[in-house]
């Protein structure tokens, strides 16, 4: 055959450009995303607008007969305090209100006015402290209640950025003092979501996940408005805090020693045992212990809501986070793949390890179907922003590897052909090429990219050329075989005049064989186009006709 095998090189497997792994969360929640919010909080320090001033509430300026009825004791003191507050004599009003509150310590209006005076005298933390129990108690009088809420909102608007700045500025040279001061402010302004959020993140950065979790968890029930970010942070911090505490239980789970795992959980302090996450883990282990399942199979999913199941998966997978991310960071894809396969036996539906597993397979150019399955699971997590792209890359890799396999099959079959080829080799090669020809439509369907489509066309053209060459080569083999048969006939019959004489005597055996050779030569003439082969075939036909 005349084909130049260099015309059909296999596609090189060059992994497509893959997403950046630097921001990938693996295991204990997406703490990385919370850490990145620090930059946003810091940037906002320079963009804060000055808070609006708080005006004197209407009820302070009411006439005495329209004011709140406080009875005989101290009424004059309260009326004088109201008047002094209205005139801006806040220091004098403070003394009067303090004296009045000794007589009526629980009086809501007086307490509010006391806090208001401290506010006007720039003693903001004291004002915040005075209104804190009133905020919790919610005074019955709607005017007082509204005044407390507005005053606290104004105080928080002023103090939150100041205390946040103080915390961030002093944390480097006095971390303990900065944390104590910030905690005190959080106690006085529990409505504010950002201070406990920021403190929890900073504690987590320092590696104190237990304190960070307690800070965030305590704030979830106190803050006003949307607490979803704090709740998400608390969940992530709980997983991080439990990771060293639950290590023995997770390793026992990996060994399928479910009762040993439950005993390990029971050794935890009560604070942790009573968390929903640990209770879910224990219930999952209890269910596994009751069931009969082959250790070779992946564990069944926990019978929990999707959110709680993912939190349990995060706790289990987080035990292996440092090992896996270290291997991936070093580009040790095969080793990372092996560890991830073990993790996925425990948490088969957890997106982060599936993401990394697909990544490892794609980079190595192996098992594209498994990579597609893993990337598909990863794509279920909206936090994995690049998972959809990874799924596309997995499908592209499958197309490349499938096309490569077809090229390899073509080239392997060509390498098995001798020079000159035998009939058996040509028939085997034809079968291979016909099978490849039948696969071309499927390869076109999965190509996906113009580059892949170009290579599929190249393969299709090569296969068509090989089939044509096989036909020619088989024709040449058939002609050569016929020539060999004719030569053997001539040797038997003799090439001299004695052979002719024998033929002339009517020896039927030789004539019948020669007649068969002539018929075969005529048949081959109908499909053979090579001039030299046609001349040889015509000579055989002529010899057969002459001695017929």
DSSP states along 354-401 = HHHHHHHHHHHT--HHHHHHHHHHHTT-TT-TTHHHHHHHHHHHHHHH
Position 531 scores a pLDDT of 81
Question: Distance between CA atoms of 520 and 135, rounded to whole angstroms?
Answer: 110
> 37-46, 340-349, 399-408: which has the minimum mean pLDDT?
37-46
Residue 506 zone, left/alpha/beta (φ > 0; ψ -120 to 50; rest): left
Position 522 scores a pLDDT of 81
13 pLDDT higher than 80: no
277 pLDDT higher than 50: yes
> 16-30, 205-219, 424-438, 505-519: which has the minimum mean pLDDT?
16-30
Position 303 scores a pLDDT of 92
Q: What is the DSSP letter of 53?
A: P
pTM: 0.70
146 pLDDT higher than 70: yes
pLDDT greater at residue 60 or residue 393: 393
The predicted-structure confidence for 349-384, as pLDDT tens digits, reads as follows 999 999 999 999 998 988 999 999 999 999 998 888
The predicted-structure confidence for 88-113, as pLDDT tens digits, reads as follows 999 999 999 999 999 999 899 999 99
Q: Which residues contact 246 (CB under 8 A, 6 or more apart)?
A: 264, 265, 268, 278, 281, 315, 319
Torsion of CA 488, 492, 495, 500, to 10 degrees: -130
Q: 334-350: b or e for each residue (b if 16 or more CB lie within 10 Å)?
A: ebbbebbeebbebbbbb
pLDDT greater at residue 491 or residue 125: 125
pLDDT greater at residue 218 or residue 486: 218
Please state the rounded mean pLDDT for residues 44-48: 58
Position 208 scores a pLDDT of 93
| Chain center to CA of 389 | 10
| Strand blocks (E) in 29-91 | none
Position 123 scores a pLDDT of 95
Position 242 scores a pLDDT of 94
Please state the rounded mean pLDDT for residues 389-413: 88
Position 304 scores a pLDDT of 94
279 pLDDT higher than 50: yes
CA distances from 28 to 18, 205, 247, 336, 368 (A): 24, 14, 13, 18, 28
The predicted-structure confidence for 290-327, as pLDDT tens digits, reads as follows 887 777 788 999 999 999 999 999 999 989 988 998 99
Position 71 scores a pLDDT of 47
Residue for token pair 């088989």: 474
Residue for token pair 């959080």: 186
pLDDT greater at residue 542 or residue 43: 542
Q: How much is the mean pLDDT over the chain?
A: 84
The predicted-structure confidence for 254-265, as pLDDT tens digits, reads as follows 999 999 999 999
CA distances from 141 to 23, 64, 69, 109, 295 (A): 52, 17, 12, 9, 66
Please state the rounded mean pLDDT for residues 38-63: 57
> 8-17, 75-84, 212-221: which has the minimum mean pLDDT?
8-17
Confidence of residue 177 (pLDDT cuts 50, 70, 90): very high
528 pLDDT higher than 80: no
Q: Which helix (H) or strand (E) holds 460?
A: helix 450-493
Please state the rounded mean pLDDT for residues 435-442: 92
Q: Which residues contact 325 (CB under 8 A, 6 or more apart)?
A: 24, 26
Residue for token pair 């990863």: 378
525 pLDDT higher than 50: yes
CA angle 216, 201, 343 (to 5 degrees): 90
Please state the rounded mean pLDDT for residues 43-58: 57
């Amino acid at each position: 055959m005349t084909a130049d095998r260099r015309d059909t090189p296999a596609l090189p497997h060059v992994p497509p450009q893959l997403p950046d792994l630097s921001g990938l969360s693996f295991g204990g929640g997406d703490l990385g995303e919370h850490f990145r919010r620090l930059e946003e909080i810091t940037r906002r320090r320079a963009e804060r607008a000055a808070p609006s001033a708080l005006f004197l509430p209407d009820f302070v300026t009411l006439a005495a007969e329209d004011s709140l009825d406080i009875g005989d004791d101290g009424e004059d003191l309260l009326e004088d305090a109201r008047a002094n507050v209205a005139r801006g004599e806040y220091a004098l009003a403070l003394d009067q209100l303090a004296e009045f509150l000794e007589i009526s310590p629980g009086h809501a209006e007086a307490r509010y006015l006391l806090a208001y005076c401290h506010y006007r005298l720039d003693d903001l933390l004291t004002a915040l402290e005075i209104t804190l129990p009133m905020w919790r108690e919610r005074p019955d009088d709607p005017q007082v209640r509204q005044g407390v809420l507005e005053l606290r909102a104004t105080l928080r608007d002023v103090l939150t950025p100041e205390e946040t700045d103080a915390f961030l500025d002093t944390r480097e040279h006095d971390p303990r003092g900065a944390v104590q001061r910030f905690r005190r402010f959080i106690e006085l302004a529990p409505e504010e979501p950002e201070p406990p959020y920021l403190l929890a993140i900073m504690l987590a950065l320092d590696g104190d996940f237990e304190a960070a979790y307690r800070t965030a968890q305590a704030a979830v029930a106190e803050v006003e408005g949307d607490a979803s970010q704090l709740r998400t942070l608390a969940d992530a911090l709980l997983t991080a805090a439990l990771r060293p505490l639950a290590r023995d239980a997770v390793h026992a789970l990996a060994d399928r020693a479910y009762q040993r795992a439950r005993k390990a959980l029971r050794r935890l302090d009560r604070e942790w045992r009573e968390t929903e996450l640990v209770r879910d883990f224990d219930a999952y282990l209890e269910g596994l212990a009751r069931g009969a399942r082959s250790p070779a199979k992946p564990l069944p999913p926990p019978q929990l809501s999707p959110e709680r199941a993912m939190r349990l998966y995060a706790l289990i997978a987080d035990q292996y986070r440092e090992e896996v991310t270290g291997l991936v960071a070093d580009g040790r894809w095969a080793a990372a793949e092996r560890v991830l396969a073990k993790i996925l036996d425990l948490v088969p539906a957890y997106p982060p390890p599936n993401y990394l597993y697909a990544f490892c397979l794609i980079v190595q150019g192996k098992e594209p179907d498994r990579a597609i399955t893993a990337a598909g699971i990863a794509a279920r997590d909206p936090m994995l922003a690049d998972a959809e792209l990874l799924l596309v890359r997995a499908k592209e890799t499958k197309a490349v590897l499938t096309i490569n396999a077809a090229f390899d099959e073509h080239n392997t079959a060509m390498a098995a052909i001798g020079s000159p080829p035998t009939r058996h080799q040509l028939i085997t090669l034809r079968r291979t090429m016909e099978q490849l020809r039948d696969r071309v439509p499927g390869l076109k369907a999965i190509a996906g990219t113009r580059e892949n489509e170009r290579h599929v066309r190249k393969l299709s053209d090569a296969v068509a050329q090989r089939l044509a060459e096989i036909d020619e080569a088989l024709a040449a083999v058939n002609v050569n075989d016929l020539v060999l048969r004719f030569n053997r006939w001539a040797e038997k019959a003799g090439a001299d005049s004695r052979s002719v004489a024998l033929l002339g005597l009517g020896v039927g055996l030789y004539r019948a064989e020669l007649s068969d050779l002539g018929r075969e030569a005529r048949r081959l003439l109908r499909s053979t186009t090579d001039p030299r082969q046609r001349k040889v075939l015509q000579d055989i036909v002529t010899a057969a006709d002459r001695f017929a």
